[in-house]
Structure 1
Amino acid sequence: MIIKKENSNYNIPDFLIVGGAKCGTTSLSQYLSKHSDIFIPKVKECRYLSKMTPNFNGPGDHVVNIEMTTSLKEYSDLFKKAKAGQFLCDASVDYLYYYKETISSINDLYKDEQPKIIILLRNPVKSAFSMYSHLKRDLRETLPLNQAISAQKDRQKNNWEWVWQYTEISKYYNQVKFYKDNIDKENLKIIIFEEFIKDPQKELKEILAFLGLEDQDLKGDKVHNKSGNAKSPFLQKIILNKSPLVMFIKKLIPRGLKQKVSQVNIEPVAISQEDIKLLKPYFVEDIVKLEKLLNKDLSLWHNN
């Protein structure tokens, strides 16, 4: 949609996928990007509405600082290649963690017309472990899981990026409640990740109906942005390198080939019973409160 602010017109999204982190937002956005009436920017995570400041200090956080969108014009320009009539989408997982800041931005930009908002939620034990594995994959996390959890407060104090807060980002109750309290019921859709991957086509049909868009056959892979260990740390460093020279060379390589090389170099890591035992106590109370909030049985999360 187009808004007018300070005598200028700006493009802003018609709908948002606000997270949670490692809950299938990349897969969902990949599916939806195949719809002829939906436009998702090449920079999938726009990172504007959460009002983050680009000064994170953790290992590899400089990349996030560089890629962060910090002005309304920059944000609007991300959607300028959309065709007339297309629904604009911003899929940024920081919007769930920074729920207060994001809602404040929505109230400021959208005034009387709220965007449609989609939230994906996953078993928090699995999502927390997946985020830990994600940072291991990117050669940023060096500590064992138990030590990484113990280091969370110090990392937050030293202004490391929010993704290092493995247990906190996966406590959904306060995050979801704030959205439910501030977004009209007809504009908010909450999806359980485990239900989505079980029958993505059914969920996609419901999402398109929620958005008021024509049903289309959207094909795609179920898993994107997968976490795990790098088989070759040397190759992974090249894949993650964003220096001007390396980025120029990467542009000469077909996108499909780059994705294949990246996927082949990642060895999936299954969560162990020891990891489950370590993480589960952090989420028991939060899951119970979320069940009541959503009026939904989440026994699958309790039992796995």
Structure 2
Amino acid sequence: MRERKTSYPNLFIVGAPKSGTTSMAKYLSTHSHIYTPLQKEFTYFGSDLVRYATLIEKDQYLKWFEPWKEEKYALDASPFYLYSKTAPTEILEKSPDAKFIIMLRKPSQVAYSMYYQARFGGGEDQISFERAWELESDRIAGRNIPPLARLEFTTRYQTIGKYSEYVENYLNICGKDRVHIIFFEDLKSQPVETYQKLLSFLQLDSQLPEEFSIANPSKKALFPKLTRFISSPPKWMGDVTGIIFPKEIRWKVRNYIMQKNTVKADKPKISEKSSIMLQEHFRSDIKALEKLLSIDLSHWY
């Protein structure tokens, strides 16, 4: 039985999008000592992150964790906390014993995959990755924002794979004993060993999920307009359905519709020119991350 010190969660998955964060949240949800709400990506913390819409209010956020009773941990899996300089401090102020899982992936793959994820959800309106890449400075200045984008960093493809300063910020604020870093490549090639190391960090017994399948693969919508509507419904709809149905029911219905409207689909192959450009763009930051963590990441560049 845990000693209740806060109503806020005390375990956080942060990291690059498309780096296995959804899969890891799914795996951890099977552990009896971790409470995992149905919703992922709250992005409640991180006051310095630019939001184009209100993502979640305090009362709504805490309500997701009301069922947390006996479990040692309650999990908030919000990858974009990684890119917030203020999030670690804000989290520790509310949850002093919090631990953090940082998940990372080859930057060029993250940038390209995030573009197609944003296209799938309606948060990106450019039909070519290269054009969306070029618009980053415009978007930082508040121009050419996709109408359905909800968070600035979801369209910052040039920055989204530059991890070193953000990882260093977490290590400096939280301390190395509170931060566990996982690389997507390790999770994919050695899932059991990688997961066991995480459980050891969390001081939990070895309860393994039935399978280590990768969640949230590349996909496309059968009816794109339906996906965009479900991903970003009008506020009035949330207010009305919130009166009628409990949040768990609403979320299950939302997930069911999304699953039925989604099929797996490989991303188009990136052009050789763009691939070389991405490799060069991220090379110096990868080397900075190598130095920070004292590891070899030469397979990334």
What TM-score do you get using the length of structure 1 for normalisation?
Answer: 0.82
- CA separation of 1:129 and 1:96: change in aligned 2, threshold 3 A: same
Residue pair 2:12, 2:76 contacting (<8 A) in 1 also: yes
- What is the rounded CA distance, in whole Å, between the counterparts of 2:93 and 2:253 in structure 1? 41
- CA separation of 1:271 and 1:189: change in aligned 2, threshold 3 A: farther
1:69 deviation in Å?
2.8
Residue pair 2:46, 2:90 contacting (<8 A) in 1 also: yes
Alignment counterpart, residue 146 of structure 1, candidates 122, 130, 145: 130
Cα RMSD, aligned residues only: 2.9
- CA separation of 1:234 and 1:182: change in aligned 2, threshold 3 A: closer
Alignment of 1:1-304 (within 5 A): 2-3=4-5, 10-51=6-47, 56=52, 65-66=53-54, 68-71=55-58, 73-98=59-84, 100-110=85-95, 113-143=96-126, 144-158=128-142, 160=145, 161-220=152-211, 222-234=213-225, 236-237=227-228, 240=231, 242=233, 244=237, 258=257, 260-264=259-263, 266-272=264-270, 273-302=272-301
1:171 deviation in Å?
0.2
- What is the rounded CA distance, in whole Å, between the counterparts of 2:255 and 2:117 in structure 1? 21
- CA separation of 1:2 and 1:292: change in aligned 2, threshold 3 A: same
Aligned residue-pair number = 282
- CA separation of 1:217 and 1:252: change in aligned 2, threshold 3 A: closer
- What is the rounded CA distance, in whole Å, between the counterparts of 1:255 and 1:46 in structure 2? 15
What secondary structure sits across from 2:118 in the alignment? helix
- What is the rounded CA distance, in whole Å, between the counterparts of 1:178 and 1:55 in structure 2? 21
- What is the rounded CA distance, in whole Å, between the counterparts of 2:283 and 2:230 in structure 1? 38
- What is the rounded CA distance, in whole Å, between the counterparts of 1:54 and 1:145 in structure 2? 22
Percent identity of paired positions between Structure 1 and Structure 2? 30
What secondary structure sits across from 2:204 in the alignment? coil
1:300 deviation in Å?
1.7
- What is the rounded CA distance, in whole Å, between the counterparts of 1:103 and 1:241 in structure 2? 27
What secondary structure sits across from 1:36 in the alignment? coil
- What is the rounded CA distance, in whole Å, between the counterparts of 1:229 and 1:177 in structure 2? 35
- What is the rounded CA distance, in whole Å, between the counterparts of 1:95 and 1:283 in structure 2? 20
- CA separation of 1:253 and 1:292: change in aligned 2, threshold 3 A: closer
- What is the rounded CA distance, in whole Å, between the counterparts of 2:217 and 2:186 in structure 1? 18
The unaligned stretches of length 5 or more in structure 1 are 4-9, 57-64
1:277 deviation in Å?
1.9
Instruction: Give deviations 1:168-199, integer Å, cap 9, x for gaps.
Output: 02100101111112222221111111111112
1:2 deviation in Å?
3.8
Instruction: Give deviations 1:47-94, integer Å, cap 9, x for gaps.
Output: 1221257851xxxxxxxx24x2343x4433221112323411111112
What secondary structure sits across from 1:166 in the alignment? coil
The unaligned stretches of length 5 or more in structure 2 are 146-151
1:274 deviation in Å?
3.5
1:28 deviation in Å?
0.4
- CA separation of 1:222 and 1:167: change in aligned 2, threshold 3 A: farther
What TM-score do you get using the length of structure 2 for normalisation?
Answer: 0.82
- CA separation of 1:172 and 1:50: change in aligned 2, threshold 3 A: same
Residue pair 1:129, 1:271 contacting (<8 A) in 2 also: no
Residue pair 2:221, 2:262 contacting (<8 A) in 1 also: no
1:59 matched residue in structure 2: none
